[in-house]
Amino acid sequence: MDDAPALAAFRGRFTSVAASVFLTCLGSAAVAQCDADQELYFSCSFSEGAKAVHVCENPASVTYQFGPTGEAPELMLSENVQDVDYTPWPGIGTTIWEEVVFESQDYRYVVYAALVRSFPENETDDITVTPTGGITVLNGETEIANLRCDEGSAEFPWGSGIYDAKTSLGFCFDVSDGWSACTQ
């Protein structure tokens, strides 16, 4: 089952809310360190601002940077868009979430990003959207670290960059089966 049309329709309707969240969070978020040809996918700080993660994307690649805030990254990984392990939001639930997995030797760095939506009891009040996320580090199947973003530091301008890049390469996403070559 191809969920692309439903997801694309929802993404279009939700873009203005995501843009508002992005602009609201700029003042408190970790400073993004994306190259000029990349856009920010996710960024946040850890340990009261001592460390930061930046995930950047363009139509060809997705890059992971982790290290001391404001300094050169301790770890930088890059994946081609067609190869990156990316799970887009499946379109259900009050929390919009996605994850991108980067691999290096026996380690996997699972970057999870979310927009937690709180719906008010009064329909005329605004929906509150709070960006959050973190990194789970695995060695094989063993979790060796789970870093949660410092409160208020997450920047997740949820959009369709990685999703669109993968679909433009002929891949389709199915909630049950993940990414595979599209069949007509």
Count of domains forming the chain: 1
* pLDDT band at residue 12 using 50, 70 and 90 as cut-offs: very low
pLDDT on residue 7: 43
Mean pLDDT of all residues in 141-157: 96
Domain membership flag for residue 182: no
Mean pLDDT computed over every residue of the chain? 84
pLDDT on residue 150: 97
- Compute how many other C-beta atoms are within 10 angstroms of the C-beta atom of residue 79: 18
Domain membership flag for residue 90: yes
Domain membership flag for residue 42: yes
Reported as a single tens digit per residue, the pLDDT across 64-115 is: 999 999 899 999 999 999 999 999 999 888 999 999 999 999 999 999 999 9
CA dihedral 115, 50, 27, 122 (to 10 degrees): 30
Q: Check pLDDT > 80 for residue 27.
A: no
Domain membership flag for residue 177: no
Which residue blocks in the chain are alpha helix, DSSP H?
Answer: 4-25, 161-168
How far CA 62 is from CA of 28, 32, 85, 91, 109, in Å, comes to 24, 14, 10, 22, 13
- Among residues 53, 49, 55, the alpha carbon closest in space to that of 74 is found at 53
Backbone angles phi, psi at 25, to 5 degrees: -90, -10
pTM for the model stands at 0.80
Q: Check pLDDT > 80 for residue 11.
A: no
- Among residues 81, 182, 181, 99, the alpha carbon closest in space to that of 146 is found at 99
Domain membership flag for residue 120: yes
pLDDT on residue 156: 94
Contact 86, 27 (CB under 8 A): no
* pLDDT band at residue 183 using 50, 70 and 90 as cut-offs: confident
Domain membership flag for residue 179: no
- Among residues 4, 39, 11, 9, the alpha carbon closest in space to that of 160 is found at 11
Domain membership flag for residue 180: no
Q: Which domain holds residue 12?
A: 4-172
Mean pLDDT of all residues in 50-62: 96
Domain membership flag for residue 184: no
